[in-house]
Amino acid sequence: MSSAPVATARPSAAFIAASWFALLAGMGGFIIGLWNATMALNEKGYYFTVLMFGLFAAISLQKTVRDQLEKIPVTGLYYGLAWFATLLAILLLLVGLWNATLTLSEKGFYAMAFLLGLFGAIAVQKNTRDMRLAPGGIASGIDTDVV
């Protein structure tokens, strides 16, 4: 990697809106699907917990990757845990759907809503960080190590 700082441009309004739409559509679709599902409450709780765990893990992974690109120190342990948690969340969803007594179209719906939610969470986190670091951003002059 080069030692030059990473240039950050302010994201466009269209990309910000699309990112928020992806996050809300993925999360909302997944949660509405759970609400209307005829599965046991403990199954609904399992899928909801996997969704929340996956969203957190994906954001954490995005932050560690971005930190490394910007030469902010990240321990190898945390970087590995972020990857492990993200892959584990996806694996837990796949195992749950594999063993579920749902139709194939329902399983596909939950998988796609989950992945759309993860993508949206990563994009929203990226936009938030880009807006803080861009020239004239919402946090110009603020210590960005905590972003």
Residue with tokens 């809300």: 24
More confident residue, 131 or 133: 131
- Alpha-carbon span 100 to 42, nearest angstrom: 12
**Averaged pLDDT, 85-112:** 95
- Alpha-carbon span 75 to 54, nearest angstrom: 21
For residue range 25-76, what is the model confidence (pLDDT) as tens digits?
999 999 999 999 999 999 999 999 999 999 999 999 999 999 998 888 999 9
This prediction's pTM: 0.83
What distances in angstroms separate CA 103 from CA 3, 100, 107, 112, one per listed residue? 52, 9, 6, 14
More confident residue, 138 or 133: 133
